[in-house]
């Protein structure tokens, strides 16, 4: 079928990839068996492809459930939130299409022009989402005690917190560590 450069089209493309990979695995197992291999050995020889087929199947599931469930969710959200949630779905689906472009080229009718369009689409989505990045992570509503991070606290006092944490190092409890007298000093004096 002709390639359809839409979210639905990409998900259908992933279905074709997963089905194609499973079909190839079955064909390879059968071919190896015909050449005299036992089923177990044929399975083992095909196992790298089999793991890739499983992963492709899982991608279909994640992409489909994400897309369909979001479509259902946004029916009840405000238009502003709807727009952002759909941008996120688009970003995720296009990101994975670009990550698996080799598979799409192998199993579907995607063209180089389609890929260029996808790349451009992805870059535009990043720019569109950029102003909402902090709002999107704030919405995860993780308290500072839960984040437990000098870099990620809500107030953004990154450098002050890094310094506060540095001062907690047990090595900072004394100005001169005993190892200086024990090892470094004799060594340095011996050298001198």
Partner 1 sequence: VNPDLQREREKCSFNITELTNLLDGGPQMTEERRRREATVLNEGIHIEEVPSEYLSHKEKYELAVKKACHLFKLIRRLQEEENTGMENFRAILGGSLGAAILQDGSPLTLHYVMFIPTLMGQASVEQQAYWIGRAFNLDIIGTYAQTELGHGTFIRGLETTATYDPKTKEFVLHSPTLTAYKWWPGGLAHTANYCIVMAQLYSNGQCHGIHPFIVQLRDEETHMPLPGIKVGEIGAKLGMNGTNNGFLGFEHVRIPREHMLMKNCQVLEDGTYVKSPSSKLTYGTMMFVRVVIVKDMCNYIAKAVTIATRYSAVRRQSQPKPDEPEPQIIDYLTQQHKLMVGISTVHAFQLSAEWIWNLYNNVTAELDAGDMERLPELHALSCCLKAVTTADAAECVERCRLSCGGHGYMLASNLPVTYGHVTAACTYEGENTVLLLQTARYLVKTWQQATGGTVLPPTVAYLSRVGAGRRS
Residues 98-157 within binding reach of partner 1 (CB under 8 A): 107, 123, 125-127, 129-143, 145-157
1 contact partners, CB below 8 Å, separation of at least 6: 12, 109
Verify binding: residue 181, partner 1, rule CB under 8 A. Answer: no
Nearer to partner 1, 5 or 83 (CB): 83
Cα–Cα dist 13/134, whole Å = 32
Burial group, residue 94, by CB count within 10 angstroms (0-12, 13-18, 19+):
buried
Query: Which residues touch 191 (CB under 8 Å, ≥6 apart)?
Result: none
Window 30-49: residues binding partner 1 (CB under 8 A): 30, 47
Binding residue for partner 1 (CB under 8 A) from 58, 116, 184, 188? 58
Of 2, 170, 175, 190, which lies in the binding site for partner 1, with binding defined by CB under 8 A?
A: 170
Options 33, 37, 45, 91; binder of partner 1; rule CB under 8 A: 91
What are the tokens at 55? 């992963």
From 25, 104, 110, 118, residue interacting with partner 1 (rule: CB under 8 A): 25
Q: How far is the CB of 111 from partner 1 (least distance, A)?
A: 18
Size of the site for partner 1 (CB under 8 A): 86
Q: Is 78 in the site for partner 1 (CB under 8 A)?
A: yes
How far apart CA 19 and CA 59 sit, in angstroms, is: 12
């Amino acid at each position: 079928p002709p390639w359809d450069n839409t979210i639905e089209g990409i998900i259908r493309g992933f279905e074709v990839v997963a089905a194609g990979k499973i079909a190839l695995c079955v064909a390879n197992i059968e071919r190896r068996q015909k050449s005299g291999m036992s089923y177990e050995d044929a399975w083992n020889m095909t196992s790298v492809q089999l793991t890739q087929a499983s992963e492709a199947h899982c991608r279909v599931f994640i992409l489909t459930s994400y897309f369909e469930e979001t479509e259902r969710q946004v029916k009840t959200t405000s238009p502003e939130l709807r727009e952002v949630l759909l941008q996120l779905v688009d970003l995720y689906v296009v990101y994975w299409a670009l990550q698996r472009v080799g598979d799409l080229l192998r199993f579907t009718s995607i063209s180089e022009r389609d890929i260029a369009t996808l790349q451009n689409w992805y870059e535009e989505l990043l720019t569109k989402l950029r102003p909402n990045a902090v709002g999107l992570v704030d919405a995860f509503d993780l308290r500072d005690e839960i984040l437990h991070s000098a870099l990620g606290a809500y107030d953004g006092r990154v450098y002050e917190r890094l310094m506060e944490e540095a001062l907690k190092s047990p090595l900072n409890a004394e100005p001169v560590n005993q190892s200086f007298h024990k090892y470094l000093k004799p060594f340095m004096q011996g050298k001198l």
